[in-house]
Every structure is written in structure tokens, then in C-alpha cells.
Amino acid sequence: MAGSSRASASATLLIEEPYGKLGFFTATGHAAVYLSDVCADTPTVLRRCNPGETGIVLSRYDDVNGYDWLAIPLIPYLYAVERPEDVPLFADAKMVAFLRDQYRRKYLESIVPDAHGGEMPTGNWIQLVGSSYDRTIYGLEVETTPKQDDALIRWLNGAPNRSHFHLVSRNCADFAKTIINFYYPKALHRSVIADAGITTPKQIAKMLVKLEARRPELEGSRSVIAQVPGSLSRSSPIHGVVESFLKSKKYIVPSAVVSPIFAGCVFAVYVGTGTGRFEPDHDAMVLNPDGALESPLSKTDRKTYRRQLKSLLAEWDPAGRGLNAAKQWKKLQSRAEISLDSQGEPLLKLALDGKLFRVGASTANVTGARDGPPIARELLAARLDSELRHAPARGLSPSALARDWNMLQQAQRSVLEEHSQLRATAFTAPDHSGFTNGP
């Protein structure tokens, strides 16, 4: 993907974990395609990328102003911001809605206009930006050529772009399959047996892996983009249609009671097609927001970080109130006002005990706040707590964890320096962080 070292262009199939609990069809997740050397003048007009641009994500959506497909730059598609350093450290529903609406107002108003009174509209447009707040994403990359990219651009720009979305026969996975098949004809196909003839993200990912195995010259690779740490519900594993039916108790249990033979056939299909054995993150590298690809953090290092974080939290708060730092921060952030600072970076404003505190909410500005070091410390502790508890097993990178850990230590030093200065002037300020002020 963006961090690949190869000189040629590439297409990456993005298979995205499902979120929400709306039935076994939604458990199949979402599919899109990232093109490293294709960019866009608008979400509906494609062109070749200029130097320094990172490509676009193409996907099919249901009921977004009547369009069949839309193109969004990679970083906004994943995080609803334009720069990797502006990705919030801890995402909640209010923060995500704010960032999505900011991006919409700046770039997408012609496609997604304001609701009545200038309010943010409802609808499926939210899937256009900030996908990594909702779910973990897996990427399967294959090599392409400039000639192929040019042909795709001419085809999509010249064809009607009007929606005929259908969950069963013309869904997001069907569109992703069409794009990959444009580059490699007949490489991907649906499964009549495992998915009852419905194209699913997991099925086309399996087919792409088989293509890479047959053609190693394509230099296929895998990556994982972890869901942003925060209080939003964590996404769940991707399933095929039969697999979803089998693993959902509210469907398979009544079916087994009514017809054990039918339930047995479902299990036989699941085992026979090997759907459950496919792991999208097998041998995957972690893709950081800055585009760097890294090997995932080892289990041993993950346990070490968790143990050290617990020790720090216990040191700051012997009473144990802050041991679940993510839970404590969730309550505090829910009371915050969200805005952008002078550099366009997300900022949190908190009114506590009659005083207004400002703290940066992203890596770009979290350690720069002068009036809220204890709050910055709690935010960073919450991020580490969330990612160490909930990130997928292969979704954490060593450099990202080291960066977060160093920022936490820097915030702690700022707290201690602030308290040292206050003691020197015989003045004690209240600590609003939820932790004690350290030794």
C-alpha cells in the first residue's frame, strides 16, 4: 500500500471487518480497492496521481446521492483527516462525527449537502471517510502497471456512474471484484456453495490469495490497519454467508432444532469449503497512518507494555481508580467540546471546576498544551490502555507503541515539572486527571 517500497503501481483489495449487530449478512463486512497511482479531481472524476499523492480508495455505496462508486483519498478514507499526524489518539462517537463533518463540509458538500438548517446530514455517506474508526481493515496488494491504470481511468470516467446497488447481486464486494478483474481478468469469482451465490469480501480475498500463489511475480503482500483506539465498539471477524449462519446462534440453533439434517449440511459446507481456515491477517504487516509498514508487535512485548502500563497507573493512583484508563477517559472526553486549533488539528476543551482546559487530541498537538498536562497524560494512558486491550493480535506495530509510550512519559514529566513549580511558589492546583499527581 502507501508504505510499499516497490517502484511500480499497485491495487490493494481492502476487506473490512463488520460492525454493528444487524444480522448475518452484515457479518460479511465491506470491500473496497485502494489504487496507489490513481487519484481524483473530484470523487467522481479519476486521473493519474501527481508526485507526492498517495492514491485513492474506490468503493460502491448504497444511497449516496445516486452514485454507484466514489473515490476518496487514502488518509481521509481511513481517518477523516488530511494528515496522518492529525488522527485523534482516542476516538469516540462525538469526535468521529465532528471529523467526518469537517471533511464533508470542505470537500464533499456537492455530493453530501447540509441537512435542513445547515446541520450534518444523516445517511450512508459516513462510510466515505473515517472507516478505521469503525473497524479493522486488511489489505491484499498486487502489482499493476501504468497502462492498466490509464485504461481503468478511461473506463470509469467514461461509463455511467449511477447506483443500482443490490445487497445480493450488486454489492460492494461485486464492485471490488470487478475492479480487480479489470486488472487480472477472471481472477476473482463468487462462491455458489460457501456464500449461496452472493459475492462476499472474504471469498474474493481468498481468490486473490490463490492468484498470488499461482503468480508470485505479482509480488503480492498483506497488511492490516488496526481500528483506531477509543470507546467505539470493536469490529468483529469477517465471515462468509454460510459461516455467518453457522456461527450465529439465533439462526443455527432454531434451524438445528427444526431440521438437524439441514444444520449438518451447513456444517459440511463450512468445513468442505475451508472458509473458517482463511485468516486475512496471516503474514500481514502493520500499516501505520504515516504509510510505514512494520512487522507486528510480538505477544511478549505486548504483555510487557501492558504490565508496565498497569504499574504506572497504580503508581499514579494507589486507590485504583485509573486502572481502567480507557473507561475513565471515556467519561471525561464525553464532556469535552471538540474544535480545531490554529493548525487545523483536533482540540478538546474541558470546563473543570470553573476553569477551561485545552488539550491536543492528536499526536501533532497533545504534548504542546500548556494548561492541561494531567489531562494530556490521562488521554495518552487511555490510548495505550485501549490499543493494548483491544487491538487485533497482529495489528500493533512496535514503532507506534514506542511513540505512544514516549509521549506518555513526556506528559508525566510535564505533570511533575508543573507540580514542582507550584510547590516552589507554595501554591497547589487541583488535579483533574483522575489520577494522583505521581510521587
pTM of the model: 0.88
Quote the pLDDT of residue 95.
97
C-alpha distances in Å from residue 53, one per residue of 48, 56, 74, 153: 10, 9, 10, 16
CB 187 within 8 A of CB 180: yes
Quote the pLDDT of residue 357.
86
Between CA 221 and CA 178 the distance in angstroms is 20
Instruction: Split the chain (439 residues) into runs of 10 and give each run's mean pLDDT.
Output: 63 92 67 97 97 95 94 98 96 97 96 92 95 96 95 97 87 96 94 79 92 86 95 88 60 52 55 69 90 92 92 77 81 93 91 85 83 82 92 86 92 78 50 39
383-422 burial, b at 16+ Cβ within 10 Å, e below that, comes to bbbbbbebbbebbbbbebbeebbebbebbbebbeebbeee
Q: Which amino acid is at 217?
A: E
Quote the pLDDT of residue 254.
54
Q: 507486528: which residue's cell? A: 296
* Secondary structure E strands in 25-102: 30-35, 38-42, 45-48, 56-60, 69-73
Quote the pLDDT of residue 193.
72
